[in-house]
Amino acid sequence: MSAVASGAPRLPVRLGWGFYDTGVLAWRNVLRILRNPVFLVTEVVVQPVLFTLLFAYIFGGAIHIPGFAYIDFLMPGIFVQTITFGSMNTATGLAEDLEKGLMDRFRSLPIAYWAVPVARVAADLLVDVFGLGLMIAVAYLIGFRFHGGPTQTVEALALVLLWGFAISCFGTLLGAVLRKPTTVQAFGFLAMFPLTFASSTFVPVQTMPAWLRAFSSHSPITAVVDAARHLILNAPGGESSIAGAIAWSIGVLVISIPVAAYSFQRLTR
C-alpha cells in the first residue's frame, strides 16, 4: 500500500505543508513586531542608532585608526553587535510563547514541529535586514563610507547576515532550553554583553591588556567583526578572519539547529 493511500503523506507533501506553516507563523511574528511599536522603536530603531551616535562621537575624537576615520572602523562592529543582541529577542520571544502556553495550542494543530523555530528565525532575519539598512543610512549621514567595491560590500553584509542567521538559531536553542523570558534576559546580560564588548567591536584588540587580548582575539564576535571590517575597509590580509567568521557561523549552526530541533520536538509531543 502506498504512503498516500495509507494516510501518510509523502515526504515532499509534508515538506511543502511544513514550509507553508513556516510562512504563516513567520508572518504572525512579523505582525507581532509591527503591532508592538515600543519594541519596534526601542530595539529595532533607537538602540542601534543610539549606539552608532554615542560611540562615534564619544570615542571618535579619542581613538585614531591609521588610514581610516573611526566611524569607518566602528560601523562593522556596530553591525555585528546589533545582530548579536537580536538573538536575545529571538530567545525571549520563543520563551514568552512557551510561558503563555502557545506551544500547547500548536501541539493540538497539524503543523510541522520545526515550523515554529524556523519561522521565528525567518522573521528575525527580516528585522535584521531592516535594522542593517537603517544603521547604514544613519552612518552615511555622519560620514561612514564603504571603501571596497560592490562585491566586497555584498560579501561583508552577507557575512554579517550569516552570523545573524547562526546566532538567531542559537537564540531558538536558548528559548527552548531556558523557557522563561526573565532567565533568557539574565543570560543575555551576563553572556552577550561581555562577549560583545570584550572584542574588536569598538577598539583594536592590540590596545587591550594581555590577558584580555588572549580572550578577545579568539572570540567569535572578533572573528566576524574583523572579517566584515576587512571587506568594508578594503584592508589587506583579512583572509584568515573571513575563514574564521565562516567557521564560527557554521559551528554555531551545526550545534544549534539539531539541539533546537530536538528540544522543540520534545515540546510538541
DSSP of 253-266: HHHHHHHHHHHHHH
C-alpha cell at 245: 567568521
d(CA 94, CA 184): 10
5, pLDDT greater than 80: no
Tally of residues, the chain: 269
Mean pLDDT of the region 240-261: 88
Contact 83, 170 (CB under 8 A): no
**Interval 131-165: pLDDT, tens:** 888 889 988 998 899 988 889 999 999 999 999 99
Name the burial class of residue 73, with classes exposed (0-12), middle (13-18) and buried (19+) by CB atoms within 10 angstroms of its CB.
Answer: buried
> 3-state DSSP call for residue 45?
helix
CB 115 within 8 A of CB 21: yes
Q: How far are the Cα atoms of 11, 88, 94, 252, 264 from residue 162, in angstroms, in the given order?
A: 28, 16, 21, 11, 23
For the record, the C-alpha cell of 101 comes out as: 502556553
Confidence of residue 2 (pLDDT cuts 50, 70, 90): very low
Q: Are 181 and 92 in contact (CB under 8 A)?
A: yes
In the chain, what percentage of residues exceed pLDDT 70?
86
Please report which confidence band the pLDDT of residue 224 belongs to, taking 50, 70 and 90 as the band edges: very high
Confidence (pLDDT) at 3? 40
| CB atoms near residue 8 (< 10 Å) | 12
Cell, residue 182: 526573565
Phi and psi angles of residue 68, each rounded to the nearest 5 degrees, phi first: -140, 150
Residues 215-229 as b or e (16 or more Cβ within 10 Å = b): ebeebbbbbbbbbbb
Averaged pLDDT for residues 224-247: 87
C-alpha cell of 175? 528559548
Residue 63 C-alpha cell reads as 581613538
Average pLDDT, the chain: 81
Q: Which residues of 137-175 are buried (b: 16+ CB within 10 A; e: fewer)?
A: ebbeeeebebebeeebbebbbebbbbbbbbbbbbbbbbb
Residue range 172-213, pLDDT digits in tens: 888 888 878 888 888 877 888 888 888 888 888 888 888 888
Judging by beta carbons within 10 Å of its beta carbon (0-12, 13-18, 19+), is residue 26 exposed, middle or buried?
A: buried
